Every structure is written in C-alpha cells, then in structure tokens.
Amino acid sequence: MATTDLLTLSRAARLAGVTRGVLQKKVRDGDLRSFEGKVRVADLVEAFPGTAIEDNAELARVSQIKERAFARRVYERALPDKEVLAARVGALGRDLAVANARADRLQSLLSELGQRLEGHSLGAWLRHQLEIGMAASDDEQELLAQEGVMRVMAPHVKVTPGGQEFFVEGADTVLEAALHAGIAMAYGCSGGNCGECKARVVAGTLRQVRHHDYRLTEAERQNGWALMCSHTALTDLVIEAQVARFANEIPEQSITAHVRKMENLSDEVMLLELLTPRSNRLRFLAGQGAQVTLGGASATWPIASCPCEERRLHFHVRRMPGNVISDYVFGRLRIGEAVPVAGPVGDFVLREDSARPLVFIAWGWQGFAPVKSVIEHALAQESAESIDLYWIGAQGSDHYHPRLCRSWAEAIDNFRYTPLIAGAGLHGEVVRAVRSTLGEILPEIETPAERDFYVAGDSAQIDATRAALAEHGVPAERLATWTAD
Ligand code: FES
C-alpha cells in the first residue's frame, strides 16, 4: 500500500468534515479499517461517500464554526504569511519530486518484473493487482488533492510519547498551535528565553519565525532539538515533547494580569476578562481555577475560558451585594487594573485517555463556568464521540449564557444542549430537587454507565448527583466534579 494513500485520523476527519471522535467510533465499530492509527483514502471515501467533492465538508464545517461558534479566533488565523506559505510549498514540492522519482523507479522495476514473468500465472496476477492498485476513483483523487492543500495550509503534528495530534494553522509557532488545540505542551516564557518548550523533532522540517535568545547546545541541535515557541512547521511533524495531562503536572504560578474587558452576560453575571503578560502566561488545564485578588479580597474562581484562548483568562462573576469582591468588580474595577492571579487549582479536567461519550451537568449559575472550559477543550480536541450538556438552574435567569450553548448545539455534530429549571428547591430541598431532575434526565441517556460525567455545582448538589448516578450504575471513577463552595 502506498504511504500517500494513508491519512492520519485527524486529517481524515477534517477531510470528511467530522470530528476525530466520530471517525474513531467508525473504526471501533468496524465500519472503517485503520492501519496503525491511519486510514486509507479509498476506505474514507467509502465510509463518507461524496463528502469531499459535493459539498466540501471541511470548508463548510470551518465556515459554520467560524460564523456561529466559539472558535472564531482559531480560524481567523488560518492563512500562513507569504514566506511560510512559500517555504511550505517548496518543502511539499521537494517531497513530491522525491516521491515521483521513487514511483518512476518502482514502475520500471515492476514492468521489468512483469516482462520476466510473461506467460507465468504470477505475471497475470501481478498485472491485475497493478490495475487495481493504480486505479484511483475521482473521489479518491479529489480527496488526495485536498489533502495536499491541507498539508500546505495546516501541517499535522504528532507528539510522542503521548500520541496527541494537532494542526499548525497559519504561521503559528508549534507551541501556539498546540495550545490552541488544547494540548498542554510544556513551556515557560513563550518568548524564546527559558528553553522549557524544547522538543526533539523526530520527523519533518521546522522554520524559525520568532527570535530567541535561548541557546541550544551544538549536541542538542544535531539531535533535532528546537524551541517550539519560535518555530513553525513547514511539513507534517513528529516531535518528542512533554505534555501535561494531569492537574498535578502543572506547576503553581503567581502572575499579574490586567483587566482587558468587563461585559455583562446578564443582569446578574459579568464576564471579567484578564490578559496575562506575553512572557508570563498562566499554565493551566481546562476546568481548573485560579485565586484572584481584587479590592483587597481574594477568591478562588473557575477559569471559564480554555487554555486555547491563549493569554485571555475569563471569569464569570455574580452580582452579590455585600460580598466584598463582587461589590468591587461591579462598582469600582476599571479596565487596565492590575490583578494578582495564583494557580492553577482543582482537578476537574478532561480525561484524555477516554473515548467515552461525555455528559456535562452544570447546577445553577455557578456550575457553568468550569463546565464551559472543559467543553471548549473537548471541542478543540475533537475526540469526544458525543457531548450532552444539561444546565439546570433554580430559575431561568441562572442560564446566563444561553446563546453560546445554543450555538454549540447548532454548529457541532453530536452536541446536545438541554436547559432545565429545578425550582427554588435547588437551594433548599437540594436532594429532592436533584433527584427529581436527574430522574428526568438519566432515562434519556443511553447506557449512562458507559459515559464520563462532569458535574459542577455546590457541595450539596454534587453529593446528591453522585448518589443518584451511583444508583444508575455509573462507577465513581467516571465522575469528575467541581465544587463551588
Ligand atoms: S517557552 Fe521559553 S523558550 Fe520557549
């Protein structure tokens, strides 16, 4: 089988216009063959007939997400600058010339072999196999052409030993691309000074696009080490790099961020956006929180944004008259003010080793921010087979971000959003309110015991949810929680 006929799952998913999770399900169900994590072009065309040509599913998917959903910034940067584009085309051209020379050599070898086997049954078999092998359908050719364009526009990176995959859009550095894809690659300054983003290139070619002061040793350079914060990918890459997967792998940090934006999401909830310094960002995993100090008071809040938002940290602050920090945010905080931030805290993070469908349950207004961060990370990873979000408020005003949830449901395949009202009991008769709401939800969820649950709320809501899920056969290890009090 020609290696050019094999696509990584990530690239195949993009070409077919589906998530990696959907493709992985097809592989698991036996509807699509995979060869060491790759799929054949012909099999992809058969599994998703017509998608590559008739409606250019990849472009449709990108423009749909761009118009409606959260990832606008990710896709706005899709075009590489002229120099990077020219270098990528040059690298692809060299690959093509080598591949053509090899194909010519192989072709002449095969025809000589055919002549020598003339009259022999093996000769007839060889001719027949060659005819089959060389005949690519129009759909396959179209898909291969698109794949070539994608290799120029967005080279693919595979990380060892963790197995993470992502694409380098535009002229992003490899580090930026990893962070946009929600992959917590190790880094420090992100400005070429500390050397912590050092990784070894096992296959492929880099190009330096940012200045760096940090000096690698000659031996490191010879062995393929390079700084990921100052290089982009010219070709598809395989790199050896450190990636944090668990909360305890991220160091504690103290930084000073600045207020960049304050925006009312509703009458009661404000979006507070902080910008971290370029050379001192906060490393965290989606779903973690941070301690924020404002007006002389400190509070630990969930970070509502995901690490793919780069230097922006979002917090959802509730108006609570009499609460010092809330009064300060709603009454005195100004754009540009310096804000000490320490963290990250918490272990409400996505289980990246799991391919199970995901169910998110956000209780009340305070359950949504951590859930939002993990959902955005899961969407950036494209690995979830399906996502269900239940946002259960005591009253309708608790659903303070309904447009965002609806846009996810509209733009993303296999994403379902269900807002529910549990009534005042959610803060009084908690156990009864939680049990009765889950009594409605759980029968709707097929095979709850085979899903991963992410639940955020106050401690009473979490305890009641844990008990109800256990009664429905959900093992304790399938449940991750964020407790808001
Ligand atoms: S992150 Fe500091 S040199 Fe790359």
Q: What is the pLDDT of residues 64-107, one digit of tens each?
A: 444 444 444 444 455 667 777 777 777 777 777 777 777 777 77
Other beta carbons within 10 Å of 83: 11
**Hunting for tokens 């118009």 — which residue is that?**
67
Domain for residue 71, yes or no? yes
Residue 54 pLDDT: 41
Centre of ligand 1 from the C-alpha of residue 243, in Å: 14
- Domain finish residue from 319, 345, 371: 345
Residue 32 pLDDT: 83
Q: Label residue 456 exposed, middle or buried (CB < 10 Å: 0-12, 13-18, 19+).
A: buried
Structure letter (DSSP) for residue 301: E
The response to whether residue 173 sits with its C-beta less than 6 Å from ligand 1 reads: no
The reply to whether 168 and 301 lie within a common domain is no
Other beta carbons within 10 Å of 139: 20
Residue type, 348: F
The reply to whether 26 and 107 lie within a common domain is yes
Mapped onto helix, strand or coil, the DSSP state of residue 338 is strand
CB-based burial, 12-28: b 16+ in 10 Å, e otherwise: bbbbbbbbbbbbbbbbe
The Cα 121–Cα 161 span in angstroms is 46
The response to whether residue 190 sits with its C-beta less than 6 Å from ligand 1 reads: yes
Atom number of ligand 1 nearest to Cα 193? 3
Mutate which of 173, 174, 179, 193 for ligand 1 pocket (most atoms within 8 A of beta carbon): 193
The C-alpha R_g of the chain, in whole angstroms, comes to: 25
The response to whether residue 216 sits with its C-beta less than 6 Å from ligand 1 reads: no
Comparison of pLDDT for 71 and 464, the residue scoring more:
464
Residue 158 has pLDDT above 70, yes or no: yes
Nearest CA to ligand 1 atom 3: 192
Comparison of pLDDT for 341 and 460, the residue scoring more:
341
The Cα 1–Cα 16 span in angstroms is 21
**pLDDT, tens only, 222-231:** 999 999 999 9
The response to whether residue 146 sits with its C-beta less than 6 Å from ligand 1 reads: no
The reply to whether 41 and 134 lie within a common domain is yes
CB 292 within 8 A of CB 301: yes
Domain for residue 223, yes or no? yes
The dihedral sign for the CA sequence 82, 178, 21, 462: negative
CB 361 within 8 A of CB 368: no
The reply to whether 258 and 337 lie within a common domain is yes
Domain for residue 353, yes or no? no
- Please name every residue paired with 406 in a beta bridge, in sequence order, or none if there are none: none
Lowest mean pLDDT among 52-66, 165-179, 242-256: 52-66
Domain that holds residue 214: 156-240
The reply to whether 12 and 129 lie within a common domain is yes
The reply to whether 341 and 292 lie within a common domain is yes
Q: Label residue 200 exposed, middle or buried (CB < 10 Å: 0-12, 13-18, 19+).
A: middle
Comparison of pLDDT for 371 and 111, the residue scoring more:
371
Q: Label residue 429 exposed, middle or buried (CB < 10 Å: 0-12, 13-18, 19+).
A: middle
**Residue 447 to residues 90, 336, 434: CA-CA distances in angstroms?**
51, 49, 20
Triad 368, 369, 374: Cα angle to 5°: 95
Residue 300 pLDDT: 95
**pLDDT, tens only, 302-322:** 999 988 877 899 999 999 999
**pLDDT, tens only, 251-293:** 899 999 999 999 999 999 999 999 999 888 899 999 999 999 9
The response to whether residue 194 sits with its C-beta less than 6 Å from ligand 1 reads: yes
The Cα 69–Cα 72 span in angstroms is 7
Residue 62 has pLDDT above 50, yes or no: no
- Domain finish residue from 323, 345, 367: 345
Lowest mean pLDDT among 16-20, 35-39, 138-142: 138-142
Average pLDDT of the chain is 83
Domain for residue 44, yes or no? yes
Structure letter (DSSP) for residue 187: -
- Please name every residue paired with 40 in a beta bridge, in sequence order, or none if there are none: 6
- Please name every residue paired with 290 in a beta bridge, in sequence order, or none if there are none: 301
The Cα 453–Cα 442 span in angstroms is 12
**Residue 345 to residues 94, 142, 251, 282, 300: CA-CA distances in angstroms?**
48, 48, 10, 12, 8
The reply to whether 362 and 475 lie within a common domain is yes
The reply to whether 28 and 116 lie within a common domain is yes
- Domain finish residue from 345, 369, 400: 345
Domain for residue 384, yes or no? yes
Domain for residue 17, yes or no? yes
Residue 73 pLDDT: 44
CB 458 within 8 A of CB 366: yes
Residue 454 has pLDDT above 80, yes or no: yes
Q: Label residue 316 exposed, middle or buried (CB < 10 Å: 0-12, 13-18, 19+).
A: buried
Triad 78, 80, 86: Cα angle to 5°: 145
The reply to whether 58 and 96 lie within a common domain is yes
Domain for residue 352, yes or no? no
CATH code of 198's domain = 3.10.20.30
**pLDDT, tens only, 1-29:** 444 567 777 778 777 777 777 787 788 77
Structure letter (DSSP) for residue 480: E
CB-based burial, 229-261: b 16+ in 10 Å, e otherwise: bbbbbbbbbebebbbbbebeebeebebebebbe
The reply to whether 132 and 223 lie within a common domain is no
Residue 138 pLDDT: 66
Residue 118 pLDDT: 75
The reply to whether 422 and 335 lie within a common domain is no
Q: Label residue 286 exposed, middle or buried (CB < 10 Å: 0-12, 13-18, 19+).
A: buried
The reply to whether 54 and 74 lie within a common domain is yes
Residue 134 pLDDT: 63
CATH code of 457's domain = 3.40.50.80
The response to whether residue 195 sits with its C-beta less than 6 Å from ligand 1 reads: yes
The count of structural domains within the chain is: 4
Q: Who's near 455: CB < 8 A, 6+ residues apart?
A: 360, 361, 363, 367, 461, 462, 465, 466, 479, 480, 481, 482
Nearest by Cα to 21 from 380, 386, 376: 386
The number of angstroms, rounded, from the C-alpha of 6 to the middle of its chain's C-alpha atoms is 23
Number of H helices, E strands in the chain: 16, 20
Nearest CA to ligand 1 atom 1: 190
Centre of ligand 1 from the C-alpha of residue 214, in Å: 8
Task: Out of 102-106, 151-155, 297-301, give the one with best mean pLDDT.
Answer: 297-301
Residue 272 pLDDT: 97
**Residue 45 to residues 51, 170, 178: CA-CA distances in angstroms?**
8, 27, 29
Domain for residue 351, yes or no? no
CATH code of 262's domain = 2.40.30.10
Q: Region 204-216: what's the mean pLDDT? A: 92
Nearest by Cα to 380 from 50, 45, 65, 60: 65
**pLDDT, tens only, 169-200:** 877 899 999 988 888 899 988 889 999 999 99
